[in-house]
Amino acid sequence: MPQVSAGAKNRGRPSKTASASKTSNKTPKKGTVIKLKLKKTITEVKKVLKIDNPSSYYYFFSPGKADGNAQMPDELGGKGANLAEMALAKIAVPPGFTIATSACKLYYENDLVLPIEIDALLEKYVSMIEKETKKKFGDSTNPLLLSVRSGAKFSMPGMMDTILNLGMNDETLEGIAGKSGNMRFALDNYRRFIQMFGDVVLGIERDAFEAVIQKKKVERRVKHDSSLQVSDLGDIIKRYKQIVKRKTGEPFPEDPWQQLRLARDAVFRSWNNPRAISYRRLNNIPPLPGTAINIQAMVFGNMGKKSCTGVGFTRNPSTGEKEFFGEFLVNAQGEDIVAGIRTPEDIKNLKKVMPAVYKQLSTIANSLEKHYRDMQDFEFTVENEKLYMLQTRSGKRTTQAAIKIAVDMVKEKLISKEDALMRIKPMDLDQLLHPTIDPNAKYEVITTGLAASPGAVSGKVYFTSEDITALGAKVKGILVREETNPDDIEGMHSAVGILTSRGGMTSHAAVVARGMGKCCVCGAEAVRVNAAKKRFQVGKLTIREGEIITLNGSTGEVITGEVATVEPELSAEYTEFMSWADEVRTLKVRTNADTPADAVKALKFGAEGIGLCRTEHMFFAEARIPIVQQMIVAETAEERQEALDKLLPMQKKDFKAIFSAMNGLPVTIRTLDPPLHEFLPKKETIELKLEELDKKSDHYEEDFEDLTRLVRRIDELTELNPMLGHRGCRLGIVFPEITEMQVRAILEAACELTKDRKKIFPEIMVPLVGHVNEFKHQKEIIDRIAIEVIAKYKVRNLEYLVGTMIEIPRAALTADEIATEAQFFSFGTNDLTQMAMGFSRDDAGKFLQFYLENGILETDPFVSIDEAGVGQLIKMGFEKGRATNPELKIGICGEHGGDPSSIEFCHKIGLDYVSCSPYRIPIARLSAAQATLKFNGSGGKKKAVKKAVKKTKKEK
């Protein structure tokens, strides 16, 4: 292959191929670019960018010395920065160097070619490794092999590519075999290298190689790879090379330098592979320059019985317990653990196998945790009883573990309370709040796997990522796989739970599921998955696609059918942790709740009141809907009043129950909001009924008339843009009797409870106000009815507030006028976002996804407040409102009230409270605390702490 091997000599010569690549897609898909990859060697590097200081892109490290350190993850990536830090701490890391993230950026800017000045230093840095290891890259007697690993600033487990054993070829094979005295070992490395290189660099499906090895095992009637003979491995390598030749049209590249450059570029390219992009989007990772690459001397965990490889945590990442936790595999390379192909052993067993190594490892791990002041996740390899640390980083953990670790570390005086509060991502609290299996439920456990990610969930089983993604949000699906890999990321996101039959607690499925807060059971080996036939078997039992199972991610149980679940018991550490958040935060947290059940749940989660009680949900109850419809089809105010009179006692009962549940906390009740047609049946349904009626010989003429009238009313009420139509206070203005009934129900309920010596704080909220006159109109009604009801009940000490939603842009713009009349504002950010941005939430799907994927919008404005636009209106509404009414209470309700970044915004502006759904309350409490710590600095903290002290004193 002269074309390829000539590469090194012809550096910098521009070629047609490189030039043609200018218009090529910058996010190449696997498979489609095989040829391009083979052709694009250093021979084709274009000199487009002028690089001034090329050595600034390389960072060397070796125990005792390093160019970088832990403070440089932007440039070195997380892995590179920590390798440098460990080297500086004289911990045994295999010597190597990091190519900086900025080089990755240049690689993309330069049309998928690393600028020549940077590329040129590769030999120099490899030679530095050669010096440290006293081996030589590509040498036939004492060859240096390299590992090439990606490593971005933020950990993206399994998302990008790694190549081990690089430098293997027919010549170095002999060197490795000779030097190790172990031909089997040498061949195993060679075999692994071709397979990995073929997969990662050449885009050949893993299965093609896997089939060869499977076939050989069948031939030899052996179960494990390790039982294959030297000659078998030789055969396998030969076949692997044939596969490469067949798939790519070129022989396998034997030149180690070509291997290295191809591998390096493949890692750069993996930064923008679809699953990595998807991962960054799903995890809200901000834009980064790219990934760094760590090129290190290989150390071998597969050199025999005195070698092993493993991963570990300084504390239990699932429970947070302070115990040495992890897994290892004897005579294996790192990929074997992560891929979950062989089920590894508990790290505690290493004590028996290699006690000295175990002691050394636990000492290092402990010091790493102290050094980083956080629980560490580390990788190590033992080569002939010599321990090497391959990586350390802050370990991923379940939220339960994270809280326990944070609280424990405060007690161990390792970190401060504030540090602890800042360490938990508020959204992660969601994991704690999912239901667990009802202890009284009876169910049949069909098998047990590893309890990889806690929670309990029932769902229908599906066997491919595509199938489960296609279901959409409506169906709860459980993804069942032998093992998951990064291609399954979308499917895992869509699933409510994940079950695998292979792999351990640190397998891909386990790590990703914990990150997502999804229930996951791993390595349930009794489960035999047949994805092609869309079914799995446990013993004689067969479960097919669409059948329901239940997973208990906290015990590893797999259960047939659906099982009742209960709300989680929250740990003592959780309670303590949240009390710290409450001490710090200044923003109050209320809940959106329409039922007493919601109210009770929210109180348990720490709600300080109801910020939004939607009265319309009370209208939808089955027994009420006919009365509501009667109200709507009424043609006179009298007819309407008749229906309203029937609704009054029902609403009153609801309000009494909610007030009672909230037990003295403020309750904001919104008057009727949705357009009336939402309460009517579909026109088609009635027309069908009419047809049926027509067929009957004995129908009543009255029924006919009623239905006809209903159809007419539906026609009258139908709107082209209901979002901007006759709804909100516009209803209460045109039909004041509706507002009158609702206010009467609220205040009669409040009066009756007040008479029972309960303390009630009703806040009546008028929706969709755009003009102060609208509010005045409704306030006049509310006050009139209130005076009347309070007089009737002769209640003295009942106070109520009248306020409004600020959800129309005009309301925010004229908040100064509205605030002269209103006692409180609640920003309805859902509607405000719809109108300020002109996005109908129901319809935006057609373009919003496109906008997010193509960077036109950075975040979904329905998830996080669009600060630049909608945020201005909120700020304006707040400032104008307070300007004319300094006493004005101001909060927000709507989805954003439970979104951390939106809560931070609300804190910054100075709102009094946020209101969110019950499950979001802990998230909001922590977000509010973090916002206080972030923006009020130590001053704010002090104030907050003072407040907390005062509170504590008071309680005493």
Binding residues for a second copy, rule: CB under 8 A, are: 719-726, 728, 730, 733-734, 768, 770-771, 773-774, 777, 807-810, 813-814, 817, 831, 834-840, 842-844, 846-847, 850-851, 854-857, 866, 868-870, 872-873
Residues 497 and 478 sit within 8 Å (Cβ to Cβ) = yes
Task: Give the strand pairing for 541-544 and 801-806.
Answer: unpaired
Q: How far is the CB of 870 from a second copy (least distance, A)?
A: 7
Q: Tokens 């030039």 appear where?
A: 19
The amino acid at residue 702 is E
Between CA 752 and CA 306 the distance in angstroms is 79
3-state helix/strand/coil string of 418-478: HHHHHHCCHHHHHHHHCCEECCCCCCCEEEECEEEECCEEEEEEECCHHHHHHCCCCCCEE
Q: How many CA atoms lie within 13 A of 358 on its CB side?
A: 15
Between CA 219 and CA 291 the distance in angstroms is 42
Between CA 330 and CA 305 the distance in angstroms is 6
Sheet containing 497-500, strands listed edge to edge, beginning at the edge strand earlier in sequence: 445-448, 557-560, 548-552, 456-462, 477-481, 497-500, 519-522, 450-453
Q: How far is the CB of 648 from a second copy (least distance, A)?
A: 24
Q: How far is the CB of 764 from a second copy (least distance, A)?
A: 19
Between CA 288 and CA 569 the distance in angstroms is 39
Between 307 and 834, whose beta carbon lies closer to a second copy?
A: 834
Q: Give the containing element (helix H, strand E) for 832.
A: helix 829-837
Between CA 933 and CA 946 the distance in angstroms is 14
Give the DSSP per-residue string, 186-224.
HHHHHHHHHHHHHHHTT---HHHHHHHHHHHHHHHT-SS
Between 62 and 804, whose beta carbon lies closer to a second copy?
A: 804
Residue 91 neighbours by CB distance under 10 Å: 20
- The single residue of 104, 434, 508, 519 carrying the catalytic annotation is 508
Between CA 34 and CA 40 the distance in angstroms is 10
Q: How far is the CB of 814 from a second copy (least distance, A)?
A: 6
Between 442 and 474, whose beta carbon lies closer to a second copy?
A: 474
Q: How far is the CB of 770 from a second copy (least distance, A)?
A: 5
Q: How far is the CB of 4 from a second copy (least distance, A)?
A: 37
Give which of 864, 769, 775, 778 is closest to 812, Cα–Cα.
Answer: 769
Between CA 261 and CA 241 the distance in angstroms is 19
Q: How far is the CB of 813 from a second copy (least distance, A)?
A: 5
Between 409 and 873, whose beta carbon lies closer to a second copy?
A: 873
DSSP assignment letter at 289: S
Q: How far is the CB of 193 from a second copy (least distance, A)?
A: 42
- The single residue of 729, 893, 906, 916 carrying the catalytic annotation is 893
Q: How far is the CB of 33 from a second copy (least distance, A)?
A: 22
Q: How far is the CB of 620 from a second copy (least distance, A)?
A: 19
773: which residues sit within 8 A by CB, 6+ positions away? none
Between CA 299 and CA 303 the distance in angstroms is 9
Between CA 806 and CA 828 the distance in angstroms is 6
Instruction: Let me know if 893 is a catalytic residue.
Output: yes
Q: How far is the CB of 888 from a second copy (least distance, A)?
A: 19
13: which residues sit within 8 A by CB, 6+ positions away? 43, 44
Q: How far is the CB of 32 from a second copy (least distance, A)?
A: 19
Between 216 and 777, whose beta carbon lies closer to a second copy?
A: 777
Instruction: Let me know if 508 is a catalytic residue.
Output: yes
Between CA 556 and CA 568 the distance in angstroms is 17
829 SS3 class: helix
Q: How far is the CB of 674 from a second copy (least distance, A)?
A: 13
Token readout for 462 is 């599906």
What are the residues facing 544 on neighbouring strands? 535
The amino acid at residue 88 is L
Give which of 330, 281, 323, 283 is closest to 306, Cα–Cα.
Answer: 330
Give which of 935, 900, 928, 936 is closest to 587, Cα–Cα.
Answer: 928
- The CA dihedral of 503, 505, 511, 514, to the nearest 10 degrees, is 130
Between 726 and 758, whose beta carbon lies closer to a second copy?
A: 726
Residues 902 and 829 sit within 8 Å (Cβ to Cβ) = yes
How far is C-alpha 825 from the chain's CA centre? 32
696: which residues sit within 8 A by CB, 6+ positions away? none
Between 108 and 851, whose beta carbon lies closer to a second copy?
A: 851
Residues 783 and 744 sit within 8 Å (Cβ to Cβ) = no
Q: Which residues are catalytic?
A: 508, 893
